[in-house]
Chains A and B, each alone.
Chain A
């Protein structure tokens, strides 16, 4: 631990100027990748994938429900890790990235909850049950909203960044609760279809579109994150010489 050093690219990412310009280069490619993958995945899931033998066509909701649910959790993970890096190494960019994660993660959680509720009606016969999986996902949304509220309430950027980083680290506990809720307690939500150790309980013609959707939404997330982070850099680095120069040249 004593000789632990962060790699060079990490420090480059930590420079707002470098990040701003690098993100600008990546954006068109990410936009293209996510557009192609999401269009492909949506068409495949909606029109070409087979229906389920029990659930019929309502099964198709899986292709938007599962990707948004995965993202709602991995974005929270990223937000907490970025916050921790910011707290330990005092890197401003880490806090900026953490802040950019919050609204994206919150919107993914909202869609995961809504599509889950809509899917619940034709399959379970109810929009909502207070079972452990559903409730812990609702708690995740409240964590996101709490973090947003904390940013709003604290006007000092630095203090706000640290306070929210600590809240997100505490909120990290919720992630294993969401994941294992279906194993630990009796829930109406079914256990996981995909696990690392076992073959998926689903044929390839059903899970391939899901893989396309999940990859597409990850690409979309990175794109949204870069865009939001650039906005945040604009807000915080307004007086920097390099930004003024970019603005004058019309490349901002």
Chain B
């Protein structure tokens, strides 16, 4: 590791907030993409099941 301790890696000579913040935002963006896709997929599957049951019943 480049740093001597985890405290040092966390603090990064005062740049910790900026660096960890950026990596955090990056992970949030990935999470947001998967969350949106999952929600959309569930919505579509539910809709398709409704269409099917309507076709079977009617």
Are chains A and B touching in the complex at the 8 Å CB cutoff? yes
Query: Which A residues contact B (CB, under 8 angstroms)?
Result: 38, 42, 46-51, 56-58, 60-61, 64-65, 68, 103-104, 107-108, 110-111, 114-115, 118-119, 121-122, 220, 224, 227-228, 230-231, 234-235, 238-239, 243-244, 247, 252
Overall SS of chain A's interface: helix
Contact B2 A234 (CB under 8 A): no
Tell me which of A49, A227, A239 has the highest count of chain B C-beta atoms within 10 A of its own C-beta: A227
Task: Say how far A71's CB is from chain B's closest CB, in angstroms.
Answer: 11
Contact A50 B26 (CB under 8 A): no
* Known contacts A65-B22, A122-B15; A244/B52 CB under 8 A: yes
- Residues 20-58 of B, flagged 1 when their CB comes within 8 A of A and 0 if not, give 011101100110111011001100110111011000000
Contact B37 A224 (CB under 8 A): yes
Residue of B with least CB distance to A58: B15
Contact A47 B3 (CB under 8 A): yes
Task: Say how far B24's CB is from chain A's closest CB, in angstroms.
Answer: 10
* Known contacts A50-B2, A234-B44, A238-B51; A224/B22 CB under 8 A: no
Residues of B near A103 (CB, < 8 A) are 33, 36
* Known contacts A57-B15, A119-B18; A68/B48 CB under 8 A: no
Task: Say how far A221's CB is from chain B's closest CB, in angstroms.
Answer: 9
Task: Say how far B58's CB is from chain A's closest CB, in angstroms.
Answer: 15
Task: Say how far A143's CB is from chain B's closest CB, in angstroms.
Answer: 18
